[in-house]
Amino acid sequence: MTLIAALDQGTSSSRTLIVDAQGRVLASAQREFTQHYPQPGWVEHDPLDIWATQSATLTEALARAGAGLHDLAAIGITNQRETVVLWERASGRPLANAIVWQDRRTAEVCAQLSADGHGPLLQQRTGLLPDAYFSATKLAWLLDHIPGARARAERGELAAGTIDTWLVYKLTGGAAHLTDVSNASRTLLCNLHTGDWDDDLLALLRVPRAVLPAIVPNCGALAVARLGGVEIPITGMAGDQQAALFGQACLQPGMAKNTYGTGCFALQHTGGQAVRSQQRLLSTVAWRLGADEPLQYALEGGVFVAGAAVQWLRDGLGLVRSAQEAQQLADSVQGSDGVLLVPAFTGLGAPHWDARARGLLIGLTRGTTAAHIARATLDSMAYQSAELFAAMQADIAAQGGAPLIELRVDGGGAVNDRLMQFQADLLGVPVVRPVQAESTALGAAYLAGLGVGLWPDAPTLAALWTPERRFEPAMRSDERSAHMARWRRAVERARDWAED
């Protein structure tokens, strides 16, 4: 039993990787599932779809690897963070669709929290800001809007959690109700400094402790999956961005990664120090590698819409039939010809945190083509990420930390050479892509392998990380500044657009 199954439950698809003791990916399987948009600004998933697609990919990936459940030493889990599921403890029946991290239905609740002066308390205790992005107000909404749910939750009849918690519940046949500390740190309910639920925040945000899972470290003997008559230890869990940071071997303070997926997420490891951002970024738990190990932290900025903008080109506008076709269309022109897309379809995340912002396509002329729009859509990932890292470096510098030396990249967008070169140009530092670009699932596998003793320590894992290509910046500093100035002008025009 020397194989690890890494379950990677994402916003638009579920995937499983089978990884061996050398850190090699032997096989993978992936399935998309339906996105639900019941009202403008609302995004939901069917929890049973999530479980069905995730379990199906595990079966498919094992078959492709020529392996079975009995060959697995452990299971690792990584997941879309902040998405909330509420279900009956006894039956496992979801009471409603999951409310997805992109959902904005509680934006006004969060605005009221800020107006009432609770922002500083929330930032000090959690490292986060009062925003609908996070889990707590979503869960409170479900408890308020499902008849009888709040009373049932207080009696302990209901269970809630993020997607890691839901998968563990299903994998263990209902025996375990737990979350890891990295996912817990994204709820607005977990004290960043203790790694436990905070009673003051539970009261403020009206979430009963009885409905919440236990908080566990990111690796170790966490739970036992029972599948097909086989018991398999679950020994690694982390939210997707923390898993990617671990999978990129950013194990030392100052190391940074950016993941180009549905959203775009940048994290910089800050060691044992939870940096309190002055740039409206987030302090978050990176990981805790065992119950007796200290908490490690990261500074994070999140772009809500990155690869999702390419989905919009495909599904919303019908300009392309696939992400590959979008890349080919974008590469058919030398540049965007002055066109910029600010994909604030669900508001703007860090460093703006503007729930009223909406998408903006600007710079159009009679000469604008579908190729220019495709190019602007892909470029928006690099622009938004450059904004994040500028804010992040200001925070790091204020704390006396080291500046960004290089950026390690992963996710579906990282395979695009032109986009990665443009990112390096906008940042002014090298962008480094590893051989295994899908670091999120690999991070879950590494944590699980560490937890079951397949690898002895984190430095051993760091030695498995191998660069595939290094993109050196080639843009002049004045040209870089001009690009970013135009981008900031476009962002200002997209802000504060939506009305009540």
3-state DSSP of the chain: CCEEEEEEECCCEEEEEEECCCCCEEEEEEEECCCECCCCCCCEECHHHHHHHHHHHHHHHHHHCCCCHHHEEEEEEEECCCCEEEEECCCCCECCCEECCCCCCCHHHHHHHHHCCCHHHHHHHHCCCCCCCCHHHHHHHHHHHCCCHHHHHHCCCEEEECHHHHHHHHHCCCCCCEEEHHHHCCCCCEECCCCEECHHHHHHHCCCHHHCCEEECCEEEEEEEEECCEEEEEEEEEEHHHHHHHHCCCCCCCCEEEEECCCEEEEEEEECCCCCCCCCCEEEEEECCCCCCCCEEEEEEEECCCHHHHHHHHHHCCCCCCHHHHHHHHHCCCCCCCCEEECCECEECCCCCECCCCCEEECCCCCCCHHHHHHHHHHHHHHHHHHHHHHHHHHHHHCCCCCCCCEEEECHHHHCHHHHHHHHHHHCCCEEEECCCCHHHHHHHHHHHHHHCCCCCHHHHHCCCCEEEEECCCCCHHHHHHHHHHHHHHHHHHCCCCCC
* CB-CB contact of 475 with 425 (8 Å): yes
Average pLDDT value for residue range 213-236: 96
Query: Could you read off the pLDDT of 422-441 as tens digits, one per residue?
Result: 999 999 999 999 988 778 89
Which CATH code is given to the segment(s) 3-239? 3.30.420.40
Query: Could you read off the pLDDT of 341-351 as tens digits, one per residue?
Result: 999 998 998 88
What percent of the chain has a predicted confidence (pLDDT) above 70? Answer: 100
Categorize the per-residue pLDDT at 500 as very low, low, confident or very high, splitting at 50, 70 and 90.
Answer: low
Is the pLDDT reported for residue 402 higher than 80?
Answer: no
Is the pLDDT reported for residue 156 higher than 70?
Answer: yes
Burial of 466 (0-12, 13-18, 19+ CB in 10 A): exposed
* CB-CB contact of 149 with 166 (8 Å): no
The span from the CA of 284 to the CA of 72, in Å, is 31
Average pLDDT, the chain: 93
* CB-CB contact of 339 with 368 (8 Å): yes
Is the pLDDT reported for residue 77 higher than 70?
Answer: yes
The span from the CA of 490 to the CA of 42, in Å, is 25
Which residues is 161 bridged to in the sheet? Answer: 85
The span from the CA of 143 to the CA of 111, in Å, is 20
- With tokens 């019908």, the residue in question is 318
Is the pLDDT reported for residue 271 higher than 90?
Answer: no
Categorize the per-residue pLDDT at 405 as very low, low, confident or very high, splitting at 50, 70 and 90.
Answer: confident
- 401, HSE (Cβ side, Cα atoms, 13 Å): 27
Instruction: Please confirm whether the linkage preceding 351 is cis (ω < 30° from 0).
Output: yes
* CB-CB contact of 83 with 162 (8 Å): yes
Categorize the per-residue pLDDT at 198 as very low, low, confident or very high, splitting at 50, 70 and 90.
Answer: very high
The more confidently predicted of residues 350 and 186 is: 186
Is the pLDDT reported for residue 41 higher than 90?
Answer: no
What integer pLDDT is reported at residue 438 of this predicted model? 76
What integer pLDDT is reported at residue 376 of this predicted model? 97
Is the pLDDT reported for residue 411 higher than 90?
Answer: no
Is the pLDDT reported for residue 355 higher than 90?
Answer: no
Q: Is the pTM of this model over 0.75?
A: yes
What integer pLDDT is reported at residue 246 of this predicted model? 95
- Among the residue ranges 85-99, 165-179, 301-315, the one predicted with the least confidence is 301-315
Q: Which two tokens stand for residue 411?
A: 């996710």
410 Cβ neighbours under 8 A, 6+ residues apart: 244, 247, 248, 257, 258, 259, 260, 433, 434, 436, 437, 438, 439, 440
Using only C-alpha atoms, what is the Rg of the chain? 21
275 Cβ neighbours under 8 A, 6+ residues apart: 283, 297, 299, 395, 396, 399, 401
Average pLDDT value for residue range 221-245: 95
Q: Where along the chain do its domains lie?
A: 3-239
Average pLDDT value for residue range 386-410: 87
What integer pLDDT is reported at residue 265 of this predicted model? 86
50 phi-psi bin (left φ>0, alpha ψ -120 to 50, beta other) = alpha
